[in-house]
Amino acid sequence: MLRKDINDLLTQTGPRSPMGELFRQYWIPALLAEELPEDDCPQVRVKLLSERLLAFRDSEGRYGLIDEFCAHRGASLWFARNEEGGIRCAYHGWKFDTTGQCVEVPSEADNSSFCQNVKLRAYPLVKIGDVLWTYMGDPATTPPLPEWEFALVPAEQTYTSKRWQQCNWLQAFEGGIDSSHVTFLHSGGLKTDPLFKGAKGNEYNLNDTKPFFEVADSEGGLFVGARRNAEEGTYYWRITPWVMPCFTMVPPRGDHPIHGHFWIPIDDENCWAYSFDYHPVRALTPEERQAMIDGHGVHSENIPGTYRPVANMDNDYLMDRDAQRRGAFFSGIKGIAIQDSSLQESMGPVVDRSKERLVPADSGIIKARQKLRKAAIALRDEGTVPPGVDPAHHHVRSAAVVLEQKESFLDSCREAVRVVPGTPVASV
């Protein structure tokens, strides 16, 4: 249960809101690199943290993320021409470079300095891995670039997709640290999904539907450990890291690639789910990469040319009641990603958390909300830099291990949940 004022604080991420300011302390995914595939390619509308922006790549390969609307009369620069080192408004020809600086106003005299005083709001846009990252905070406090392992391994070892989710970022994110839903909602996928099936750990998941949980602080956020019975005298632990504000990783299964998410607010009623898969020590096989493109694992099959899932709320997520009856899909919805999004979107654009009935098994969610709230208030009142900004906090992995019953998951897995480049993940 969450009071309305706290729910508002956590779910509203527009400019000048406490949580919006918190998000503006981090480098966050703005779009996929594939959306700006070449110099002078078509620009892309980008809405982030309730700000309407435009991303483009100029003739020199420089990336820009600027106010979507021309400084002159407010026309959208989505209609502009991307040419000769800048983007030229289709209405009256005003031209802007990747920093948002106006570089030409055709109606002014050739020797006019008028345009020097015209500048659109702009944010940095940097390619790391398959993602273009932006930082929307005070330029004076720009943090070092992100160091997430999935974005730093060689290109052949990683794959990232994204999908539009029609609900507030927080209810999407909370699914990422809610380990207890896997046994029910995703039970079909553990047996059949090509990116999950076959792992020994899946048997432990399916055989023990009442996991125990431990929630422990980390420098960047939390580790949530879910413990199930394994062989005599041992437990199977699935360890999920959360790094503030919205990065989570799913514990691995066998030698399958390891995966995770970012949930990035578009506005207060929509978010992007960025989903990545990577293998730290080998290239993804063609079959694995194709499975990801086809929407298996944590990815979704999207409507071609868009990032909207084929199965969405407008077609009832292609609900298959027969598959639900047969047990092929517990909810009747196909695919891990859409199984999650369908239920999270069903809560409404922003769920009213004052009506929740939480249980102790939701402690990960309870603790994450508390940390977000405290960090947002500490930033607002004292200027405290929140956890997760320091790139050292990005060096985390999920893990899935079998331990002796007497062992502590954090003590035993201290190394396993840290990134050591070129080493395999701890996985069963």
**Which residues contact another protein (rule: CB under 8 A)?**
1-2, 166-167, 210, 212-217, 269, 313-317, 342, 345-350, 352, 355-363, 366-367, 369-370, 406, 408, 411
Considering beta carbons, is residue 367 or 395 the nearer one to another protein?
367
Rounded to the nearest whole angstrom, what is the least distance from the CB of residue 348 to another protein in the complex?
Answer: 4
Considering beta carbons, is residue 8 or 214 the nearer one to another protein?
214
Rounded to the nearest whole angstrom, what is the least distance from the CB of residue 314 to another protein in the complex?
Answer: 5
Rounded to the nearest whole angstrom, what is the least distance from the CB of residue 392 to another protein in the complex?
Answer: 20
Rounded to the nearest whole angstrom, what is the least distance from the CB of residue 8 to another protein in the complex?
Answer: 14
DSSP codes joined into one string, 167-191: S-HHHHHHHHT-GGGHHHHTHHHHH
Considering beta carbons, is residue 161 or 341 the nearer one to another protein?
341
Considering beta carbons, is residue 158 or 344 the nearer one to another protein?
344
CA distance 241 to 247: 8
Considering beta carbons, is residue 57 or 371 the nearer one to another protein?
371
CA distance 242 to 417: 11
Considering beta carbons, is residue 38 or 322 the nearer one to another protein?
322
Rounded to the nearest whole angstrom, what is the least distance from the CB of residue 249 to another protein in the complex?
Answer: 20
- Strands (E) across 108-257 are located at 122-123, 125-128, 131-135, 158-165, 212-217, 221-229, 234-243, 247-250
Considering beta carbons, is residue 155 or 358 the nearer one to another protein?
358
CA distance 219 to 362: 21
Q: In what order do the strands lie in the sheet with 81-83?
A: 81-83, 86-88, 95-96, 102-104
CA distance 31 to 48: 10
CA distance 44 to 134: 14
Q: Are 201 and 428 in contact (CB under 8 A)?
A: yes
The most distant pair of C-alpha atoms in the chain lies apart, rounded to whole Å, by 84
Rounded to the nearest whole angstrom, what is the least distance from the CB of residue 366 to another protein in the complex?
Answer: 4
Rounded to the nearest whole angstrom, what is the least distance from the CB of residue 312 to another protein in the complex?
Answer: 8
386 preceded by a cis bond (ω within 30 of 0): no
Token digits for 263? 């949930």
CA distance 67 to 230: 54
CA 123 to chain centre: 19
Rounded to the nearest whole angstrom, what is the least distance from the CB of residue 227 to another protein in the complex?
Answer: 9
Q: Are 354 and 3 in contact (CB under 8 A)?
A: yes
Considering beta carbons, is residue 259 or 367 the nearer one to another protein?
367
Rounded to the nearest whole angstrom, what is the least distance from the CB of residue 196 to another protein in the complex?
Answer: 26
> Which residues, in sequence order, are bridge partners of residue 262?
247, 274
Rounded to the nearest whole angstrom, what is the least distance from the CB of residue 304 to another protein in the complex?
Answer: 20
Rounded to the nearest whole angstrom, what is the least distance from the CB of residue 252 to another protein in the complex?
Answer: 23
Considering beta carbons, is residue 216 or 385 the nearer one to another protein?
216
Considering beta carbons, is residue 16 or 357 the nearer one to another protein?
357
Which of 42, 111, 52, 97 is CA-nearest to residue 76?
Answer: 52
CA distance 411 to 399: 13
Q: Are 220 and 393 in contact (CB under 8 A)?
A: yes
Cα distances (Å, whole numbers) of residue 422 to 149, 152, 180, 282: 10, 11, 31, 9
Considering beta carbons, is residue 96 or 409 the nearer one to another protein?
409
